[in-house]
Structure 1
Amino acid sequence: MAIFVHYLFIILISTVISVVSFLLHRSRRLRSLRLPPGNLGLPFIGETLQLISAYKTENPEPFIDERVKRYGSVFTTHIFGEPTVFSADPETNRFILQNEGRLFESSYPGSISNLLGKHSLLLMKGNLHKRMHSLTMSSVSYSIIKDQLLVDIDRLIRINLDSWTDRVLLMEEAKKITFELTIKQLMGIDPGEWSESLRKQYVLVIEGFFTIPLPLISITYRRAIKARRKVAEELGKIVRERREGYERGERKSDMLGGLLGHEGISNEEIVDFMVALLVAGYETTSTIMTLAVKFLTQTPLSLAQLKEEYEEIREKKSEWEALEWRDYKSMSFTHCVINETLRVANIISGVFRRTITDVNIKGYTIPKDWKVFASFRAVHLDHDHFEDARTFNPWRWQNVQGTSCSGNFYTPFGGGPRLCPGYELARVEISVFLHHLVTQFSWVPAEEDKLVFFPTTRTQKRYPINLQRRC
């Protein structure tokens, strides 16, 4: 027993010495580098609590503003358990996005990675990511949306709006719409009991994204893992059935059909891929729909101009005639509204990356394996880049060509090799939704509802509205 205790003591001392030596070596190395200025905050916790408390309010900007004023647009902080270089600088953000795979790689909290799956597009790297990203882009190209998807988008949105009562939780209804649209686009399945059951499991999965990724500690995470397993089982059944049909010569033109047509992609990889795309289609697009309505309601002049635009379109069509591609392209003010909603709301506030090697930026050195956060929100809401930047003003986009803004100041869909492949599809879905909502209903908020940004961008009460159908 004494010998065992002696050896245990030696192992303990050796471990402590190794840890201390490592920390001292790292400390000396960091001092030798020129890190961006900043504050690492409390041990282990860093500044995470300050960030979370700020983003749980309608005005999280002071967290960024105070640090930019003190340290500059590129600063060091410590959030979510890791030292992180935070960028509020458009040139630095572009540098980070464009050097994906060379200097930086995608990196997200363990809870998100585990729930999406190792084969999700968000986490793929290298050639596999390029291949799957290209496949996704081709599945939602202009021609595919125009010739195949638009008719279903118009039909499913009409069906959902026809079922509305005189009071709805708009964010919930929007999520139902976008989930059904994504299911249809991915697998060609119309809405029903199966899709609604799957959506309820997805809600539980998403709730686990920003929790401690330890099932024994977090009930929410444990529930999310269980729901994710059920989602994978249901999608796995569809994939197996479709693969068997594909091998018999049955071909379908949806995204799953395209995946099955590529050799070397396993069923497990397809399921992970679909899990992530369903999350993207369900969560982000529905939130933009809801917030566009909220902002329009708060600015009656913009809502009035949108009505005029839609009335011109309806005058040329019969009551139930579906929208066509030329109608979508003619919605010039709608595109301004969407651009401004994306800019002000910042559904994706930024992206996390990890350095593959020591990286020199703006005269500073970011060490290998450090996290960086390219903040889109900080740039979009900077008064130096947009006049009166924190006010919803869709007219600012009337003299801007397309959806871009010079100087790389506008990046709601990211950029570089990881540019969101479904950005045009999202814009079409939002446009069709707004068109039918505005032409079929008038509404008022049922009660005051605040906007918060953590763990995801949303309204606290899911934006309840009272509706009245137009004659």
Structure 2
Amino acid sequence: MESVSLKFDTLFTDLKEIVMKVDATMAGLIAVALVAVLITRYIYRWQNPRCNGVLPPGSMGLPLIGETLQLVLPSPSIDLPPFLKKRLKRYGPIFRTNVAGRPVIITADPEFNHFLLRQDGKLVDTWSMDTFAEVFDQASQSSKKYTRNLTLKHFGVESLKEKLLPQMEEMANQTLRKWSNKDSVEVKGASITMTVNFAAQQIFSGDLENAPLNISEMFKDLVEGMMSFPINFPGTAHHKCLQIHKKVRELMKDVVGKRLAAPERSYGDLLDGIIQDMNTEAYIKEDFVVQLMFGLLFVTSDSISTTLALAFKLLADHPAVLQELIVNSHEEILKNRENVDTPLTWSEYKSMTFTMQVINEVLRLGNIAPGFFRRALKDIPVNGYTIPKGWVIMIATAALHLNSNQFEDPLAFNPWRWKEIQPSVVSKCFMPFGSGMKQCAGAEYSKALLATFLHVMVTKYRWTMVKGGKIVRAPIIRFPDGFHFNISEKNN
């Protein structure tokens, strides 16, 4: 009996082990099946986001990263990046995508864009990419109106008329004289130095002259990181951008602190005005002042310098445009003066019709910003589709500026085209500084600085490219080898 009992015990143990092994295998298979179902469900949800209607056509790309890699892939051309060109051809002027894990609608529809830019605070609000949101403190958004009014006061038309225009001309003279004493100049980088230093003088009267770090040099590396994938890890462009931002803010905080500690000092600059307003506006704190100063320097550092560098190249490549600019625009101004050495006047600046056509054409081809961003505050119907609430909308200005339906031979540098372009085309398809109430408050300042610099450049200097010249878009325009020019005075 004991032998039989032992056999039964052994058999039961063996059966138990078999059942346990089967159970473990089944449990593993079930777990794998559940994971597969969850992954499949996640991928399906990623590719088919919820929408109270029909989403615009497009692709959401790979999970987590979306189509970010395709978007930032460099394209060696002034033309639209392949990312935009292929999708506009396949899906039409409005399509969906995903950038850095965020659903985005990209629109190149002139009518819809024109409508959308007039819906701020109603259907949409302003939105910033994650990197910009980190660098430009979103807490200051409540003071947009104050910031705009302050910018218009110190950099707007009246300030240009009263003092800035002759200062710009003097800056251009000093800068070009310095450049002409060198074998060659990398114009983009040198222009950043010029524009940042000039703006800093207006904002805080050059209080950084004795700073341990050169602020204009730091701004040269800042923009590259602003357009990078938002991964804050040592060695990445994004990490470098945040480190530079921190150092610049520390320098500016030191400037503000010294100015607050010595209220008897008065320079009549923008910082003086802000400090006076601190007594009446509760939201103006020291951090806000530092952030505002940083933002104003940033917007002058890249857009003007990139446009100016591109103007150097395009004018050098198109001698007929340069000749028209010299003879029929700027030499004409000098001929009409009693004294050729008198400073540039506001009426002379406003008479530069062809110069403005050249600037418009450079801005159109350059497309300095990849676009304008908005966030849907509610579901937005458009052309039979629905843009869901919360989604980001990118108004692709490059696609508007290079639209062959609006601009004949859009890749050609042809300033004369602006003689015949209709106002409706300009309002809906040309927006280098934004549109409507959201147009950049520094738009006139930028155009005046560019026009003044061109005035000095074409009347007194000649230039020849000696190195570089490549142009890429990734997705904003960049010059990987730089634009190196030899600059010399005409009378030498």
TM-score (ref. length: structure 2) = 0.83
Superposed CA deviations along residues 332-352 of structure 1, whole A, max 9, x for unmatched, are 110110011111111123112
Cα deviation, residue 113, structure 1 = 1.8
Residues 67 and 207 (structure 1), Cα distance of their counterparts in 2 relative to 1, 3 Å cut? closer
2:253 matched residue in structure 1: 236
In the other structure, the counterpart of 1:255 is: 270
Q: Which stretch shifts more, 181-190 or 229-238?
A: 181-190
Matches within 5 A, 1:328-347: 328-347=349-368
How far apart, in 2, do the equivalents of 1:410 and 1:359 lie?
A: 24
Tell me the percent identity: 31
Runs of 5+ unmatched residues, structure 1: 1-11
Change (3 A) 1:85 1:318: same
Which residue in 2 is equivalent to 1:157?
Answer: 172
- Which of 199, 202, 205 matches 2:216? 199
**Residue 436 in structure 1 maps to residue 456 in structure 2:** yes
Query: Aligned letter for 1:175?
Result: I
The one of 401, 404, 411 aligned to 1:380: 401
Which shows bigger deviation, 224-233 or 424-433?
224-233
Q: What is the distance in 2 between the residues matched to 1:43 and 1:29?
A: 12
Among candidates 289, 298, 308, match of residue 317 of structure 2: 298
Instruction: Report deviation, 1:221.
Output: 3.2
Q: Cα deviation per residue 1:212-255 (whole Å; 9 max; x = unaligned)?
A: 44433544333332322221121112222333444x4x544322
Match of 1:137 in 2: 152
Cα deviation, 1:292-339, whole Å, max 9, x if unaligned, reads 121111211110011112112233264643222122112111011001
TM-aligned CA distance change 1:371 to 1:441, over 3 Å? same
Q: Contact (CA 8 Å) 2:81, 2:473: kept in 1 or not?
A: no
Are the structure 2 counterparts of residues 27 and 288 from structure 1 closer, same or farther at C-alpha, using a change threshold of 3 Å? closer
Partner of 2:483: 463
CA distance in 2, matches of 1:410, 1:220: 31
The worse-fitting range, judged by mean Cα deviation, of 432-441 and 51-60 is 51-60
**CA RMSD across the alignment:** 3.0
- The aligned amino acid for 1:387 is E
**Corresponding position of 2:9:** none
Write the letter of the residue equivalent to 1:285: I
Q: Deviations over 1:57-95 (max 9, x none)?
A: 443344323222222111112223222111011112122
CA contact (8 A) 2:234 2:240 kept: no
Aligned residue pairs total 451
2:47–2:59 CA contact under 8 A, matched in 1: no
Q: Pick one of 330, 341, 346 that aligns with 1:325.
A: 346
Deviation at 1:148, TM superposition (A): 1.8
Q: Could you say if the C-alpha distance between residues 470 and 328 of structure 1 is closer, same or farther in structure 2, counting changes exceeding 3 Å?
A: same
Q: Give SS of 2:226's match.
A: coil
- TM-score w.r.t. structure 1 length? 0.87
Q: 2:56 matched to which residue of 1?
A: 36
Q: Map of 1:158-197 to 2, 5 A cutoff?
A: 158-164=173-179, 165-189=182-206, 192=209, 194=211, 197=214
Structure 2: give runs of 5+ residues left out of the alignment.
1-30
Does 2:89 match 1:63?
A: no
CA shift, 1:278, in A, is 0.7
Q: 1:78 to 1:219 in 2, by over 3 A?
A: closer
Cα distance in 2 for partners of 1:40, 1:376 equals 22
Could you tell me how far 1:279 is from its partner in structure 2?
A: 0.8
Q: Secondary structure at the residue paired with 1:368?
A: coil
Alignment counterpart, residue 427 of structure 1, candidates 439, 447, 453:
447
Q: Which has the larger radius of gyration?
A: 2
Q: Quick check: 1:350 aligned with 2:371?
A: yes
CA contact (8 A) 2:379 2:388 kept: yes
Distance 1:28 1:166 in 2: 58
Separation in 1, partners of 2:190, 2:286: 31
Residue of structure 2 equivalent to 1:7: none
SS in 1 for 2:117: helix
The structure-2 alpha-carbon separation of the partners of 1:22 and 1:170, relative to structure 1 and needing over 3 Å to count, comes to closer
What is the rounded CA distance, in whole Å, between the counterparts of 1:50 and 1:343 in structure 2? 23
Alignment of 1:389-468 (within 5 A): 389-399=410-420, 405-406=425-426, 408-454=428-474, 456-468=476-488
Question: Are the structure 2 counterparts of residues 422 and 404 from structure 1 closer, same or farther at C-alpha, using a change threshold of 3 Å?
Answer: farther
